[in-house]
Structure 1
């Protein structure tokens, strides 16, 4: 057998050339940083370089052990939340720092370099620091790192309202809740509102005694709606979501919740539910601090979104009662 050394040499040369091209291509595509390197660098940043009003301290230590006393998480944000439009653009390179404490949470970005050059230049805050309760309810925002602790010190006030309306969606109480319905919502009601509902229940019982029916199910006029949500289809909301809050001068908060009625649902062949727009209406719960927790003390129910126009206050719903006795006078004079 005759061996063609020239052909073998040519093949070897081609293979070596191809291999070198692949290695070169891989090297050129390799980023000048890793997520681990970025996060390690961000943790060690001196907070004084980000906010000159702060004393020198590692960023990680300041967030965990300093005034924020927060739980934190780190990740790479390779374009600082910008939407890339060109592969040739040298975008800012950021680390995203998430934080949470006592029901408040959020994140901020620290720019540490650029996507093409990696870690370079002095680090700086990139945009504002946003703080939320849950997902949607804004507590506020800060332009400086030193303002973050004060935002985290704000009480979380909306959780009770969200849970209350999740129970309203689940049970759809009509009139004064009783039994399991009342047991489900009692943890979120203030002492005053709970006692008012109990007094109203006694008044309703007195009304039944004055207006007996074969089934004993009579209720005073106007007491057959959803006290916490509204009349008609609004008595049976299928979804509820707390959207915002407003602090009042007396220390209470107004918490706005958006509700959806049954007719807003689109049935996608028994798949995920979606909602038509334009059906939402709002309720505004007043919450007060009671034994270290924020409890619902009253609710104003509006007919539509946003919270303006005709409305009624839950605590004004028991016209005709004189404490636990039914007189009917207020209902007749209304």
Structure 2
């Protein structure tokens, strides 16, 4: 009987030790070698250093896929652009922290439209369509803008599988679908200053220009924390990534934040003391890293 009690005590002790260590922290980031991946690695390591959990960094297609994986419970923390956070289905109880700023670039060919705002004009919208990459954050942005300002309701969006295909259509000014020629006004690209993908810049750098987005319609939108979602900014020379500008030396546009989204469900099964440890580690881990890259 005494041996049984001892065995039970040992099992309870082991069980208690196991519950004190959180499950692996799965972190959804972005493409291999990209900035989202390196940011996720840095934040994840800062968190797990103080919790004792293992870190699992998942490479993904970016913001839209991250939102789905977070919703499905396949990761517990993720990086995504702020308008994906406000529009995509996500877990019910999340913590959203601002990270670095990203630029919304308007990219157009020589036969396209140099100002995104001109697409409000029905005669322009009837002639041209927007190019967009399926599953991209830029597609989320353009759909959000069309939904925000009813003047863009007549706008058409043509989706492509990748940035190279979209850039090719923007550069030549049209694409053929089912034997029908569709004129392309341009496309949105969302990224860090000066970090436009080489799928756009390497082969189409002499054919694609940076235009403007000076429509005020989107300035009142709010993010998940009720802060401005889109803020006016300019594409400075160092942020042009070698592309020429078609309007001014520093075209007007919008910027938005990348955000770190943490699912509070991750720590809810822990004891109260361990919950506080994890929550503090998450806060400190995120803040210590994002301050360095803002």
Q: TM-score scaled by structure 1?
A: 0.23
Q: TM-score scaled by structure 2?
A: 0.25
Q: Which has the higher helix share?
A: 2
> RCO (CA 8 Å, sep 6+): is it higher in 1 or 2?
2
